[in-house]
Amino acid sequence: MTLDEAGRRSFVGARSPAVLLVYDTDSGRSSRRRRSAATPTTSSTMPSESACYVICGEGRVDVFRQTTPTIIL
C-alpha cells in the first residue's frame, strides 16, 4: 500500500484477484481498479511522474500512469 498525499489517493495491491485498487482518501471509496501481475508485494508512487509502481513476487514491475485526474493506465 502507498499513499499519494498531494493527489489524496491511496494505492493498494491485492493478490486475489491481482489488482491495483485506488482509494479516494477523503471519502474512503474505491475510485479505480486495474489488473496487475500476480502476487503484488509492494507499491510506490512517483507524484512528479504521475506514476505508481507495483513490484510483484515474480520479479515483474507493473507501472500505472495517470493521464488525467480520472484515468489511470
In the chain, where are the structural domains located?
2-72
- Options 2.40.10, 2.60.40, 3.90.660, 3.30.200; CATH of 2-72: 2.40.10
| Whole-angstrom distance, CA of residue 42 vs CA of residue 63 | 12
Phi-psi region of 69 (alpha: psi -120 to 50; beta: other; left: phi over 0): alpha
- How far is Cα of residue 70 from the mean position of the Cα atoms in its chain? 13
pLDDT tens profile 33-70: 888 766 777 767 776 677 888 888 777 888 888 776 55
Give strand pairing partners of 23. 10, 30
| pLDDT on residue 69 | 58
What one-letter code names the amino acid at 3?
L
Report yes or no: 19 and 60 within 8 Å, Cβ to Cβ.
no
Position 27 pLDDT exceeds 70: yes
